[in-house]
Chain A
């Protein structure tokens, strides 16, 4: 296939972007919509002391949970870690710092990071010390708001159904979740996709993430973990 924009890559070509101490943002919700090949390659490369930003820590053997369970993250910014007991254990033992952000606020902080906004104002968790601690407050029209800072990453990894060679992305059902937001918030964004098509093959009306946000497109081999709902 023509590679006019130089974005279609083999996974080996993008692995140089992953290094110790980096900030890595990932798409997915409970592992649904997380990129399996990139996660495995990151594990394989052995990078550590990562700061991970994403909705949740998956399950121990599903999605980003694989990286978390191996103790490769020094910090996680997420809304939930309950489905990954190893994440809870690492946090309790002081081996991994966890910053909890309410789910929709986390999504909006990522969106802010990806759309050039420094912060957002919210009243979610305003009266909740564990959310409001250490954050500035701002008064607007007589009401108080928390200032929630934008989130960005050195590299953002996402999973999509289809990409064209410009990196325009189409997602699949609920596997969309945080992916369109995460795709915008990486200094480098790598999309792992089920199918790569030439430009012109996607209906412009169905494109969710314009290719301008995507730097590299990798062919996926599909999910290689067993879901919690699958028997045996």
Chain B
């Protein structure tokens, strides 16, 4: 996605702060997959995969991959103690019933109301929704990690999505390389700023109005 590894890690590190002990978490591909690296080693989290794993562990060492133990993106993973395997029906039953506490996804656009558009660019890229609709609609909390702007420089946080929606009013938190935004009761709030950016820069690179709270935390890393 044309973003340096440092910025990607910064976003992933901030996203990892949202994970609490005991949570069931589903991570999308790309930046979300970097999140586990930033979790304290004593934290107990059950990572969920749509292809039927609860309790995914880190990637195995080269040469120790098991072709029948892969994440939803098709890459080898491991299983932690307490982990389990099940079929796709159960994997999504868990999601629909709200057993997944948190999902961290990439996106093409997010609206100020929290509408998520991350599955299709009509006429260009039509990969299909995979499991994104269920996750966006039914996970207890939805965090989007993405660039502030697309490759052409257009803001990805907009007043109204121009791309087809994956799910309406579902995003709770947006983390970009510039800032952290919270969506509360249909309104977009600036919550935190990454150094060295200032509020003005964020406003210029956002495609809708932003509510500014009295306190905006600055993140130094």
Contact = CB atoms under 8 A, between A and B. Distances in A.
Given A80-B127, A172-B68, A174-B49, A104 B92 contact: yes
A219 interface: no
B85 A102 contact: no
B129 A29 contact: no
Nearest to B168: A127
A186 interface: no
B87 A79 contact: no
Contacts of A107: 87-89, 91-92
Contacts of B67: 32, 175, 223, 227
B76 A229 contact: yes
Contacts of A199: none
B221 interface: no
Nearest to B87: A180
B133 A177 contact: no
A173 B134 contact: no
Nearest to B138: A124
A167 interface: no
Interface stretch (B5-13, B50-58, B103-111, B177-185): B50-58
Interface string B123-139: 00011111101100110
B165 interface: yes
Nearest to A32: B70
Nearest to A208: B87
B85 A29 contact: no
A78 B70 contact: no
B81 interface: no
B88 A177 contact: yes
A175 B49 CA distance: 12
B46 interface: no
Contact of A174 (B70, B89, B93, B164): B70
Given A103-B88, A125-B133, A227-B67, A174 B51 contact: yes
Contacts of B73: 30
Interface stretch (A6-14, A18-26, A81-89, A136-144): A81-89
A128 interface: yes
B88 A131 contact: no
Given A80-B129, A83-B74, A103-B130, A176 B86 contact: yes
Among A29, A79, A177, chain B packs the most CB atoms within 10 A around the CB of A177
A157 interface: no
A68 to B, nearest CB: 13
Given A174-B49, A176-B85, A88 B74 contact: no
Nearest to A31: B74
Contacts of A83: 74
B76 A55 contact: no
Given A108-B92, A174-B70, A229-B74, A100 B85 contact: no
B69 interface: yes
B133 A108 contact: no
A172 B52 CA distance: 11
Contact of B128 (A79, A208, A223, A228): A79
Contacts of A125: 129, 133
A179 interface: yes
A111 interface: yes
Contacts of A171: 85
Given A127-B168, A223-B67, A174 B52 contact: yes
Contacts of B65: 229
Interface in B59-96: 65-76, 79, 85-89, 91-93, 95-96
A208 B88 CA distance: 13
A176 B91 CA distance: 11
A229 B49 CA distance: 18
Contacts of B50: 29, 103-104
B129 A100 contact: yes
Contacts of B167: 127-128
10 contacts: A32-B74, A55-B88, A82-B127, A98-B128, A107-B89, A128-B133, A130-B164, A173-B85, A174-B68, A181-B88
